Amino acid sequence: MYDKFECYCKTNGGELSLSIAGANTKIPALQSNIEVATDKKAQLEEEVKQHQSYRAAAVDSMKKATAIREKEAASFAKEKATYDTDIGALTRAITAISRGMAGGFLQTPTAAFLRKLMVSVREIDDSNRQEIISFLSGTQSEEYVPQSGEIVGILKQLQDEMVKSLEDAQSIEKEGIAAYENLMAAKKKEKWASTVSIENKSKRIGDLAVEIATMKNDLTDTEEALVEDSKFLDNLKKDCGTKETDWKERSKTRSEELVAIAETIRILNSDDALELFKKTLPSASFVQVVETSDSIQERVFTMIRQAQLLAQNSPRLDFIALALRGKKIGLEKVMQMIDDMVANLKTEQKDDDNKKRILCSAA
């Protein structure tokens, strides 16, 4: 049993030492990994905030650009409508005047519109403006055809200027639309890139959070296991040390017992003992036999006591001494008990040697 316990102490002591060494290596590594992962998570969270800011700025820019574009488009539509109306009025006036006109033209809506147009139009110089206004203010009642077609020429020139101004406005509008579309495409790309970055880094933040939680749990379990293993190893060393001390004491006692038995056997095999045993043989006098047997047993008991002093603590010798003292069995029975005890001690010693050899081989 002691050999099994000794093997248990060595096996478990080695396993616990390895476990403790592994925990002492693992704990700093886990602490370092947790710190690195925590810093990385904080960095990613800051980067997500930046991407969110970039995305919000892109969305705001698109909103502002859209508002400006809508305003410009509305302004262009209004300007175009004005040019279309003015050019249309000029076309009708040129057509009417080119055919030769009756006095009733000046009272038409077209003439009235031209008078208003001459006040605000920018594409005509002041001299031509005054000439057209004077023409439109005339009170001729008969048909009038300008001799040089001067009025028609002025109106056609004005029409061409307006057409050119409309074309310029349309060109500006197209450029504005193209710039707006390019800006929107760029901002949408920025928004998409920021959104993808936010999603990817948010996922990484979530994974890191799970990883950190797992490492913290692992760290807690490892620290608790380290405390338990260290405590168990201390107790194991203490118990194994106690058992080792007990075993040394027991081995010492057994050795002393074997020495005492050997000495007892030597004493019993001595010539004096042989003479005493011979005297125990039956003789003519029963009283003489009894007296001689008692004397011999007393001397044998004295020898056993000497062996007990050598062994210090031997239950077997104590039992033999008790048998002799009780005087209920003969000296032959006592000798048989001694022989049996010696045989048992040899068998036990052989079994212990075999067990120790097998256990150490298995360990």
- Per DSSP, the residues of 271-324 read HHHHHHHHHTS--S-HHHHHHHHHHHHHHHHHHHHHHHHHHSS-HHHHHHHHHH
pLDDT of residue 313: 61
Q: Could you give the 3-state DSSP secondary structure of residue 148?
A: coil
At 326 the pLDDT is 63
Over the range 205-227, which residues count as b (16 or more CB within 10 Å of their CB) and which as e? beebeeebeebeeebeebeeebe
Q: How many CA atoms lie within 13 A of 231 on its CB side?
A: 6
> Which of the following CATH numbers is that of domain 2-225: 1.10.287, 2.60.40, 1.10.10, 1.10.357?
1.10.287
Dist CA 203 CA 65 (whole Å): 32
Q: Where are the domains of the chain?
A: 2-225, 269-362
What is the predicted pLDDT for the residue at 120?
77
pLDDT at 105: 62
Q: By the 8 A CB rule, do 311 and 298 touch?
A: no
Tokens 């006098």 belong to 285
Q: How high is the pLDDT of residue 232?
A: 84
CA distance 123 to 168: 13
Q: What is the pLDDT of residue 66?
A: 96
pLDDT of residue 143: 46
Determine the pLDDT at residue 188: 95
Q: How far is CA 224 from CA 12, 18, 214, 227, 235, in A?
A: 18, 16, 15, 5, 17
Which H/E stretch holds residue 170?
Answer: helix 150-268
E strands, 26-145, are none
CA 73 to chain centre: 55
Residues 48, 66: Cα–Cα separation, whole Å: 27
Tens digits of pLDDT across the chain (363 residues): 666 666 767 676 678 788 888 989 999 999 999 999 999 999 999 999 999 999 999 999 999 999 999 999 999 999 999 989 888 888 888 887 777 654 556 667 877 788 788 877 777 777 787 877 777 776 444 444 444 377 788 888 888 988 999 999 999 999 999 999 999 999 999 999 999 999 999 999 999 999 999 999 999 999 999 898 888 888 877 877 777 677 677 777 767 666 766 766 666 666 665 565 555 545 444 444 444 556 666 666 676 666 666 655 667 667 677 776 665 666 667 667 777 777 777 787 777 677 666 655 655
Instruction: Supply the pLDDT for residue 249.
Output: 74
> Quick one: pLDDT at residue 306?
66
Q: Tell me, what's the pLDDT at 334? A: 67
User: So what's the pLDDT on residue 264?
Assistant: 66
Q: What is the pLDDT of residue 236?
A: 75
